[in-house]
Amino acid sequence: MKSTKIEIHSSEYVNVQSDDEDNNEEVKIIDSETLEPPAKRARKTATATTASIPQAKQKQPSSSALLFTKLGLPIGQALTKSYTFFSPLPQQTTPSDEYVLGVDEAGRGPVLGPMVYATCFCKESFYKELSSLGFADSKQLTEDQRDKLFAKLQSPDVRQDSGWSIRCISPQDISQCMLRRTKYNLNSLAHDATIQLIRDTISKGINVRRVFIDTVGPPASYQKKLQELFPGINITVAKKADSLYPIVSAASICAKVTRDAHLSQWVFAETLLQDSLSSVYGSGYPGDPNTIKWLKDSLDHIFGYPGIIRFSWSTCAKLLADHAAGVVWADDEEVANNTKSVARYFASSKKNTFDSGSSNRLRSKFFSRRRPVSMSVTL
């Protein structure tokens, strides 16, 4: 029986373009030893009397994770959809108050988990004081230091003059965008997340006058693009902006603690895997030994990986190709060298027939195989 593959795209992203070279991914080829499926490992350790549905692993949440939960973020829940969150707006703000805003990300390169874009914004009159709080590039700080700095942003004396927001992009949405027939590359995804956060901040009545952004791609072209979208705002796009501008450093910390909170409290949408898979993911980069071990141990021969993985990463594709069951679709596209021109489907023909050999006009395989006598369409 002929099978048909049906693709359903539900992502909110449109106007896509293709560019696979901007993954910023460190590719690590993992050895070809036989991998034992996690389901098999689970059967070895499961008892015959256990029949309850597994619950989320009990992990000690960080102070930031507890705060996120209190604020209503979906920490400790299956993260299958992207979301945007805004902190309470600065107290005692007026339309005449001018603001400076910084943007940075966390999780762009890892093979697993969400990618988080964040903003931090404060009144121009408060910027010097914010700069004195000790914000620095989140990658140069320990987890405890990041949590303490993030807690400072929630203190009443800071909240009255500043705020923050995040755009958390789930690994499923990343995979879906980058594996489309018309791909939506990581740079476009990052640009659109940044633009959305800036627009949302302005729409909430925040008078943004200056913006500092850690670049994605060439700084000059990115800055020109943003300046055209926001002509009334002074925009600076720079490499290593998180180490140059304290407002970007603060945004970097917001992004990093959000991603870390999700990973530390990760709940698999595939609930039966919750207790059979390790939560020691490492950094998520393919060069991390803990990440390599997790990727090897968690690969199922039939079902591949759970939804925490970004399937568009070449590391994942290589492992699935080497160790998982192959898939052959009945409607796979023809090899590029044998693909007919699209114009052939619309070529004029003197004969009205579904026999592809009797006409210059190329018929779809659907019709040539089924050879229908007549068709009717009701509109």
pLDDT tens for 40-96 read 444 443 333 333 333 344 467 888 888 888 888 999 999 999 999 999 999 788 889
Which pLDDT tens digit goes with each residue over 226-256?
A: 999 999 999 999 999 999 999 999 999 999 9
| CATH class of the domain whose range is 19-42+53-327 | alpha beta
- CA torsion 192-194-199-201 (nearest 10°) is 150
157 in a known ligand binding site: no
Mean pLDDT of 171-188: 90
Residue 298 tokens read as 């968690």
214 in a known ligand binding site: yes
Domain boundaries, the chain: 19-42+53-327, 339-370
- In this prediction, residue 172 carries a pLDDT of 94
Region of residue 271 (left: phi > 0; alpha: psi -120 to 50; beta: else):
alpha
